[in-house]
Amino acid sequence: MSTKAAPLVHTRSHALQQRAERYFPGGVNSPVRAFRAVGGAPPFVERAEGAYVVDADGNRYIDYVGSWGPMILGHAFPPVVEAIERAARNSASFGASTASEADLAERIVACYPAIEKMRFVSSGTEATMSAIRLARAATGRKIIIKFEGCYHGHADGLLVKAGSGVATFGIPGSAGVPEEIAGLTIALPYNDLGAVEAAFAAHPDAIAAIIVEPIVGNAGCIPPHLGPAGFAPELVDRMHRQQRKAWEATVGPADYLAGLRLLTRQYGALFICDEVMTGFRVALGGACELYSLDPDLVTLGKIVGGGLPVGVFGGKQKYMDMLAPLGPVYQAGTLSGNPLAMAAGIATIGYLQEHKTEVYSRIEATARAVFDGVSQEAQKANVVLCGNRVGAMWTWFFTGGPVRNYEDAAKSDTAAFGRFHRAMLDRGVWLPPSQFEAAFLGTAHGEAEVQATIEAAKEAFRAA
Ligand code: PLP
């Protein structure tokens, strides 16, 4: 079989990109969409259905981006489309409360026991930014711990050593962030509890919160350490030994994250799980369910809005009640709790709740098949890859691995990734256009898409 794909025609996409460049920096409204990290012009999307997107030139691709996570039920999923249409007939927005907000909140609380109260916002960035403000107000402290390669949106203090587009373009943070603000963020290697303990020891009364992607997605997919190997030996010695039994009874085997929880409790800081990506994806209750986590605050986005702009921050009532109008922490939004977004969220989360077992077992099996199949093709072609996967999110790093943190991920051969990406795109498979992003799939992907993807990868590896 030929390893050459007939080059796809992108004439209309090229023209649309040129027009977009007149109006938008880089022609885009979010940097990674420009495809700079993988080369070539980005296809412009005209429509999408199920597991497929169709570009402006009529090329059809199997989609592993899923709007960067939200499309767990596939594109244009009829119940979601109908819910949006129904809501739109009653007007798109009122700037006043509607019953739909509590309808969605009720569903979120049922999935996330850690969330007692919440607030809807319009993006993941707003959710994490607001959670940080709340943590600072609750503790009267200023410093935030985050982890290298984690991305929590583009609020000033959270861009320090961030993942996603920041990592993709090799930027250490962002111009325009005052050093006084960046100086309040401590960025530590992920999966290293010793580093966290040292930071708390150095600033015992100054750290307001740890914010973490419990499973990193924005440096590519990196799971948390499981088991005692995740602990720094000195931490095990000093405190873990006495408490280990009690933890194991309550938190299961996710020791890295359990360690973060323990340290935040010990030092009076808040533990914020940023589940904008992992929420409703790795399980109905996200990483909190998967690893039995009990954070103080949780941030959500992506799936919770069914493809419309929604973010959530929520958690313990004693913290959430510090928000205006009850308390002194100000936070607001003209379109927060937007009725169209609530309708899409209710349809999506409702479907996930009602078909929980079926959905999560299906996407696990499909993701496993495509992940293993492509990894095996790489091995046969002597292409060095290290794959990380948790459920239906994964990354093939172009390095021998293991990839346990951003430093490991950064060893990837990004040029090789770029060639692979382009070769797959030419064969009708749309992967995230950066080594430092996770791929996703949903319930619309099935055997046919898996086989076509493996076949495309076989050719792409041989062509590379
Ligand atoms: N937090 C995480 C874990 C994310 O993956 C993202 C976006 O990818 C954000 C926050 C920011 O969300 P948004 O792009 O909706 O502002």
Task: Decide: 310 and 243 in contact? Cβ < 8 Å.
Answer: no
Residue 6 has pLDDT above 60, yes or no: yes
Does the CB atom of residue 218 touch ligand 1 within 6 A?
A: yes
Give the tens place of pLDDT for each residue, 118-157.
Answer: 999 999 999 999 999 999 999 999 999 999 999 999 999 9
Task: Look up 302 and say whether it is catalytic.
Answer: yes
Question: Could you tell me the distance, in angstroms and rounded to a whole number, from the CA of residue 5 to the centre of ligand 1?
Answer: 34
Q: Which domains does the chain have, with CATH numbers?
A: 11-64+357-463 (3.90.1150.10), 78-354 (3.40.640.10)
pTM of the model: 0.93
> Distances from the Cα of 418 to the Cαs of 39, 411, 433, 434, in angstroms?
7, 14, 8, 8
Instruction: Give 363 or 292, the one with higher predicted confidence.
Output: 363
Task: Give the model's confidence band at 7: pLDDT under 50 very low, under 70 low, under 90 confident, else very high.
Answer: confident
- Ligand 1 atom showing the smallest separation from residue 68 Cα: 8
- Ligand 1 atom showing the smallest separation from residue 309 Cα: 15
Task: Look up 151 and say whether it is catalytic.
Answer: yes
CB within 8 Å of 355: residues ≥ 6 apart: none
Question: Could you tell me the distance, in angstroms and rounded to a whole number, from the CA of residue 146 to the centre of ligand 1?
Answer: 14
Give the tens place of pLDDT for each residue, 17-51.
Answer: 999 999 999 999 999 999 998 988 899 999 999 99
Task: Give the model's confidence band at 171: pLDDT under 50 very low, under 70 low, under 90 confident, else very high.
Answer: low
- Ligand 1 atom showing the smallest separation from residue 213 Cα: 3
Does the CB atom of residue 31 touch ligand 1 within 6 A?
A: no
Tokens of 197: 């303990």
Mutation choice for ligand 1 from 151, 288, 308, CB with most ligand atoms inside 8 A: 151
Mean pLDDT of the chain: 91
Q: Strand pairing of 143-147 and 207-212?
A: parallel
Query: What mean pLDDT do residues 69-83 have?
Result: 98
Query: What mean pLDDT do residues 196-210 have?
Result: 95
Q: Helix (H, G, I), strand (E, B), or coil: what is residue 114?
A: coil
Q: Report the percent of the chain where pLDDT is more than 90.
A: 81
Residue 233 has pLDDT above 50, yes or no: no
Work out whether the CA dihedral 235, 271, 175, 308 comes out positive or negative.
positive
Phi, psi (5° rounding) for residue 68? 65, 30
Query: What mean pLDDT do residues 228-251 have?
Result: 44
Give the tens place of pLDDT for each residue, 372-390.
Answer: 999 999 999 999 999 999 9
Identify the CA nearest to 440 among candidates 122, 153, 73, 41: 73
Query: Residue 200 has what DSSP assignment?
Result: H
Task: Give the model's confidence band at 1: pLDDT under 50 very low, under 70 low, under 90 confident, else very high.
Answer: very low
Does the CB atom of residue 125 touch ligand 1 within 6 A?
A: yes
> Distances from the Cα of 167 to the Cαs of 125, 148, 175, 195, 237, in angstroms?
17, 10, 14, 21, 35
C-alpha 221/C-alpha 109 separation (Å) is: 26
Task: Give the model's confidence band at 225: pLDDT under 50 very low, under 70 low, under 90 confident, else very high.
Answer: confident
Query: What mean pLDDT do residues 420-448 have?
Result: 97
